[in-house]
Structure 1
Amino acid sequence: MLGLRAGYAAAAVAVFGLELFIALTVEDRIIRPFGGDSLAVVLVYLVLRAASRIEVLAATALAFAIACAVEIAQWLDLLDTIGLRGNPIARVVLGASFDPMDLAAYALGAVLILVGESLRRAIRRRAPG
C-alpha cells in the first residue's frame, strides 16, 4: 500500500487554509476570483501527489482537467440539471457560474505548479548530502 506523502499533504493543508482565508476575508476583483481559482488547481495537484505516486506532469494535467471539467459543468448548468442549485455545499464544490477567465486562472495554477516543482528539484539537487 502506498503511504501518504507528508510534504505534499502538509502543503495541501496549507493551501486549503489559504483558500479558506481568501474565501472568508478577501473581497476584491483579483485575489479572490483569480488567485483562489489558481490555488484550487494547486490544491488538487497537492492532494493527488500526497495520496499517490502520480508523476508531476500527469498530476498537473489531471488537476487542470478536473478544474476545467468543473468549469464546463458550470457552463452546462449542471447544478440545475441535478437539482442542487440551492445546496450550499454543491455550490462551493462545483461553483455556481461559468466564467471563461477561470480557465485562464486554472492555467496559471498549472504553470505555478510546474515552476514550483522545478524550483523544488533544483534546490534538492544543490543541497548537500
Structure 2
Amino acid sequence: MKKRFFYIISFLLIFCIEVLIALYVRDNFIRPYVGDMLVVVLVYSFVRIFLPTGIPRMPFYVFLFACFVEVLQYFRLVETLGITNRAARIILGSTFDWADIACYAVGCVFIVLFERIGKNS
C-alpha cells in the first residue's frame, strides 16, 4: 500500500508538471526535452499504481510503448484519423522526432536508476 501511495503521488505531481509545461512553457529545452523525458516517468508511475510490485523490465516496456506512439506520429495518425481535439492532439503528438526517442530513453534510464537506489535504501 505504501508503494502504491508513492506512485499515486508521483503520477499526480508529474501530471501537474506536464500540464504546466504544455500550457505555459514555450522554450527550446524544457518543453521539447524535459517534457518528453518526464512523460515516460508519468506512464511508468501510472502503471506502478496498479502493479506496485512492478514487473521485470517494466521501464523497457514503457520505452517501447513511447516509441510506438512516436512511430504513430511518423505515420501521421492524428491527421489520418482527423483528430481535432486539442488535448488529444497534445497527448498523441503530431510530429515524429528522433530526439523524442532519445528523451524517452533518458527518462527510462532515470527510472531504472531511481528504482535501484530505492531498492538499496
Whether TM-score is above 0.5 comes out as yes
The correspondence of residues 91-106 of structure 1 with structure 2, limited to 5 A, is 91-106=89-104
Which deviates the most, 23-32 or 106-115? 23-32
Q: 2:105 aligns with which of 104, 107, 115?
A: 107
State whether residues 49 and 59 of structure 1, in contact with CA within 8 Å, keep that contact through their aligned partners in structure 2: no
Which deviates the most, 53-62 or 29-38? 53-62
Q: Secondary structure at the match of 2:57?
A: helix
The correspondence of residues 58-73 of structure 1 with structure 2, limited to 5 A, is 58-73=57-72
Query: What is the aligned-residue RMSD (CA, Å)?
Result: 1.8
Which deviates the most, 110-119 or 14-23? 14-23
Runs of 5+ consecutive residues of structure 2 not aligned to the other structure: none
CA distance in 2, matches of 1:112, 1:5: 19
Larger radius of gyration: 1
TM-superposed CA distance for 1:81, in Å, is 1.7
Partner of 1:21: 20
Please tell me the residue identity of whatever aligns with 1:5: R
Which contiguous aligned blocks of 4+ residues in structure 1 show a shift greater than 3 angstroms? none
The correspondence of residues 1-129 of structure 1 with structure 2, limited to 5 A, is 5-53=4-52, 55=54, 57-84=56-83, 86-123=84-121
With normalisation by structure 1, the TM-score equals 0.84
CA distance in 2, matches of 1:26, 1:57: 35
Count of paired positions: 120
Q: Deviations over 1:2-58 (max 9, x none)?
A: 9x8111111111111111222222221111110000000000000111112463543
